[in-house]
Amino acid sequence: MEPTSPSILNYTIGKGIASLKRLDLAEADFTPMGNCPAFEFTPDLETLDHFSSMAGVKSKDRTVVISKSGTLKITAEEWTTRNMAIALLGSTSTNSAGQTVIDIFSENSIPCEVKFTGTNDVGQKYEWHFLRVEFVPSSAISPISDEWGQLEVSGNVVAVNSKFGTVTHIGGEGDNPSA
């Protein structure tokens, strides 16, 4: 059970596992992307303001949301052909030597169902579930570096039957496993 605020047990140092199902390949199971040092969801809401004209200076008296969207950005450190295919917007095939080949930009987007499962030791744990994310390349990919190589992908979070996804509290610091 989640501690009631205020509580230091609600301060979080986030860690977790990013996994996805490729919808274009009709994958049945989520597959982890490996070590991901960044997983960021950015909401993008468009609002319409209304101003009263009944006084000498107009005053804002209402704001409504008129569109909802969001972006999901994931930074992966494991250079698997699966992760690279998403970062390169490519399809994969196998050549005559049995090697996997990625056809760069052969796709317009890579649609995935995405799940992030919190595994942190400090704070509360949540599972984020995005029903559909349309991934497209979002940053440079550098095969030469003096640092750990990273693959960054961003995608538009798309509604499925008017629902974008869910965030579920799955436990955390202060839980009593014997209760």
Instruction: Give the per-residue pLDDT at 177.
Output: 53
What residue spans define the domains of the chain?
Answer: 13-48+63-172
Handedness of CA 128, 16, 142, 103 (dihedral sign): negative
Q: Say how far apart CA 86 and CA 133 lie, in whole Å.
A: 12
User: How would you label 53-80 residue by residue, b for 16+ Cβ within 10 Å and e otherwise?
Assistant: eeeeeeeeeeeeeeeeebebbbbbeeee
DSSP state of 162: T
pLDDT score recorded for residue 176: 59
Type of residue numbered 7: S
pLDDT score of 74 more than 70: yes
pLDDT in tens, 23-66: 999 999 999 999 999 999 999 999 999 999 988 899 999 999 99
